[in-house]
Structure 1
């Protein structure tokens, strides 16, 4: 007996769906046209929704296959610099496309250090000025043997009138620093000590707009800083006065004074006397002022990596590997892997704010991350910016313990960067002893090798004792502003992470 098809060739007039789809009995030709058009539009919208669902599914599948890395560490530990090294090493075209935005950040870093230098010199002058003593007046000291007029004050500072004149000529840079800081972070105030941006704020677009505006208004002939101020040949509202807001133009006009003031032996003596080491601060470019304060300045890769920019919040960076094949073995990872499929693979790196107030926001990113690069600067003699009572290295160790024992991260590969080795070497060379800040260090030799081993063993011990399950301990001694040395380290890190990722999906 032949089977009857499920869908009959004739429709049931009593079926509610059939009745709903039938046209009205008295439908006119125009109404029919409208109805058919509405049906076609509904079908088109339905098709678009289906396509969006498929695209979202593909994106979700792609993200599941991507490698996700979380950069952790306290503020100023080097997370953003490590991210830039990753981009430079494995996605160089993307890195260099952002060169113009970074030029303004580097200029702002330079201006901030000039501002700090001027503040130190002003403090030195203010503290050295005093009224003449009674014995001085009793001796009749003054012009032509006459006592000095009332209110006259004398300075014992080694700074001269020439230093004060240079300081005055550099003051046009200060409003530029304030304006750029406000544009990058509108809620910034005097307590903000860094160049800061909020995650997802589109700060690169802001800087691109500033650069485009400056390009549309060519600068006037280069003039000394005094000519950029009102009354020096320009009036408020003129093109010259507007150009005084362009950091490139004003820095170029101030270049000779910047270099002369920074290289002046008296200024260096004052800095040493007041225990100020600008060269140890993030984003230091005063040694390169002659090159950076130029109209045709273009940042180098090293400049961009060294630039200081503090991220507030969590920022996701997605990039595609551009590197070629490599077959390498790295002792710290035990990797011996042909990476022919690596170019084109997607990586997500999450750069999170490291200050204490930002740390609760890390947890949502712990769920499916494959690896954590934890940056711990060996700054045993420094304290946290947000709490001067807390030692920076002690805070790093406490944070490392929290990461090691977190059950959400039990499957993640933990990679420790003992960072800022260059600063550690300079600190020890200056005669600063570890035992003064870390009593448990005892009488061990105060050199880089022993100090590094002491703190590395501390991190290793907590990693072994607190991890929910046994996992290898990976570590590197780094100075992430050294792009060449860091690129070699990151190749090993990349291949180690990739190997762990392939093992997790049962590929190897």
Structure 2
């Protein structure tokens, strides 16, 4: 007699085994159908094996990175928070040779900053120079700048754009100029715009923004045959641009609207004469001040020394901060060593480009809370850059009241010291509320386009991250 226990240990019949049933050839299968089924199975196995191999290699890479003490850093924050400028500072400090080589690429961006009509550009809030007309009217002599804008946007756009490239390059939010007119801003792919520009310059189609060439336009602004001469066109408009920028009516409009474009990145109107020189090459400060909106993510690897020992690799991921880009952030959260989060505290009186109903500080605080409360990042230390302190100071100094936009500010003095304490307290409270494990928050007030002050901050951050990385790898 078979016991109940023995019966329970028996394997089920083949016709009851789900796997066997699933793998059983279908009834009436022909030889050709069988061959096709086997080929499909072999292809599926090959794909599975390839995925397994990729996972194995990624694990080996992660283990090797941990063994070497290498560091993975995420750079997070909303659009226009200063992430790209932070990367520039890292490049200047830790990849100086590559930083210098990239300067020529930024020449096109600087020219685009000069002519692109947006809220910071009084060139397109114009009237006939030396006229007595009341109110701004278009200046025909500046019309060629529209051609320059078109040429530069084309230079930064991919030659064979994918759908995502098209969105990155051509879609933007409408920014009003001083006349209230609107025009879509230009975005470029964070990881591809330099290669696109280099490719087009190497073909000779844009010689005038390549390495300065004496064979291009003369002092009078003549154009070389079959080559769009961007510098030549700009030089023909140079004096009108200068006259317009110094026009009392334009300055009066800016003063009344409390607009100070010279305090913002992307401002080069005070440098028109220098930028128009044929041998002009961007300086470090020019590149830091250049403004280029990017979408998508980019990876940057830096070799960082640790005293007398061999340096380690820092892989810094600059992840897009626009609303339609934030859903990809979580794909970067694995094996993160540190997060650098940027919050532009000067934006207290601004709204999101994507949603005018949302205050930018409120959005930045919500993002920060989401990062602090994410379970995948609960053991990751956070470095908080409360950025654009210089612009905050300029706004407060011009009389803009912080309490009008941040009701919880109360009746505290409208000065930089109290404003900085307020923002530090707001973000610090969010971190303490949502961090239920023993981790640290490092807060720095930053002005990312000031390389002197930023270099010391980045060095301090470097030391902190290195100590944490070494401790994590049990080296200290």
TM-score, normalised to structure 1, is 0.71
- For 2:59 and 2:394, the matched residues in 1 are separated by 52
Quick one: which of 208, 233, 243 aligns to 2:198? Answer: 208
Q: CA deviation at 1:488?
A: 0.7
1:11 corresponds in structure 2 to: none
Q: CA deviation at 1:281?
A: 4.1
Segment of structure 1 superposing worse, 273-282 or 434-443: 273-282
1:454 corresponds in structure 2 to: 422
Aligned residues: CA RMSD? 2.8
The answer to whether the aligner puts 1:157 opposite 2:140 as a matched pair is: no
Contact 2:171 2:185 in 1 (8 A): no
- For 1:57 and 1:398, the matched residues in 2 are separated by 33
1:180 corresponds in structure 2 to: 152
Q: CA deviation at 1:497?
A: 0.4
- For 1:68 and 1:507, the matched residues in 2 are separated by 17
Q: Secondary structure at the match of 1:345?
A: strand
1:43 corresponds in structure 2 to: none
Question: Which consecutive residues of structure 2, in runs of 5 or more, have no partner in the other structure?
Answer: 1-53, 159-165, 174-183
Superposed CA offset, 1:9-46 (max 9, x none): xxxxxxxxxxxxxxxxxxxxxxxxxxxxxxxxxxxxxx
Q: CA deviation at 1:455?
A: 1.3
1:293 corresponds in structure 2 to: 276
Quick one: which of 340, 343, 349 aligns to 1:376? Answer: 343
Q: CA deviation at 1:220?
A: 3.0
Contact 1:77 1:376 in 2 (8 A): yes
1:197 corresponds in structure 2 to: 188
The answer to whether the aligner puts 1:87 opposite 2:91 as a matched pair is: yes
The answer to whether the aligner puts 1:69 opposite 2:73 as a matched pair is: yes
The answer to whether the aligner puts 1:475 opposite 2:432 as a matched pair is: no
Q: CA deviation at 1:247?
A: 2.2
Quick one: which of 361, 373, 386 aligns to 2:328? Answer: 361
Contact 2:379 2:438 in 1 (8 A): no
- For 1:58 and 1:433, the matched residues in 2 are separated by 54
1:403 corresponds in structure 2 to: 371
Q: CA deviation at 1:369?
A: 1.1
Contact 2:157 2:196 in 1 (8 A): no
The answer to whether the aligner puts 1:219 opposite 2:223 as a matched pair is: no
The answer to whether the aligner puts 1:257 opposite 2:245 as a matched pair is: no
Aligned counterparts, 1:385-404, within 5 A: 385-404=353-372
Q: Secondary structure at the match of 2:390?
A: helix
- For 2:199 and 2:143, the matched residues in 1 are separated by 25
1:506 corresponds in structure 2 to: 474
The answer to whether the aligner puts 1:120 opposite 2:130 as a matched pair is: no
Question: Which consecutive residues of structure 1, in runs of 5 or more, have no partner in the other structure?
Answer: 1-51, 126-153, 229-238, 326-338
Change (3 A) 1:440 1:396: same
- For 2:428 and 2:256, the matched residues in 1 are separated by 39
Q: Secondary structure at the match of 1:388?
A: coil
Superposed CA offset, 1:190-249 (max 9, x none): 745544221433x2122223434116893132325xx66xxxxxxxxxx44x44x33222
1:36 corresponds in structure 2 to: none
Q: CA deviation at 1:180?
A: 2.1
Contact 2:114 2:269 in 1 (8 A): yes
Contact 1:102 1:304 in 2 (8 A): yes
- For 1:73 and 1:259, the matched residues in 2 are separated by 36
Q: CA deviation at 1:113?
A: 5.2
2:3 corresponds in structure 1 to: none
1:106 corresponds in structure 2 to: 110
For the pair shown, the structure with the greater C-alpha radius of gyration is 1
TM-score, normalised to structure 2, is 0.76
Superposed CA offset, 1:299-334 (max 9, x none): 11111111112221111112323x6x6xxxxxxxxx
Q: CA deviation at 1:438?
A: 1.1
Quick one: which of 268, 292, 317 aligns to 2:300? Answer: 317
- For 1:310 and 1:97, the matched residues in 2 are separated by 21
Contact 1:255 1:294 in 2 (8 A): no
Contact 1:420 1:479 in 2 (8 A): yes
Change (3 A) 1:56 1:435: closer
Q: Secondary structure at the match of 2:249?
A: helix
1:26 corresponds in structure 2 to: none
Change (3 A) 1:57 1:375: closer
The answer to whether the aligner puts 1:346 opposite 2:313 as a matched pair is: yes
Q: Secondary structure at the match of 2:126?
A: helix
Q: Secondary structure at the match of 2:348?
A: coil
- For 2:252 and 2:267, the matched residues in 1 are separated by 19
- For 2:109 and 2:339, the matched residues in 1 are separated by 27
Q: CA deviation at 1:120?
A: 2.3
Change (3 A) 1:382 1:54: closer
- For 1:156 and 1:253, the matched residues in 2 are separated by 24
Contact 1:72 1:373 in 2 (8 A): yes
- For 1:434 and 1:280, the matched residues in 2 are separated by 18
- For 1:420 and 1:274, the matched residues in 2 are separated by 20
Q: CA deviation at 1:158?
A: 5.2
2:51 corresponds in structure 1 to: none
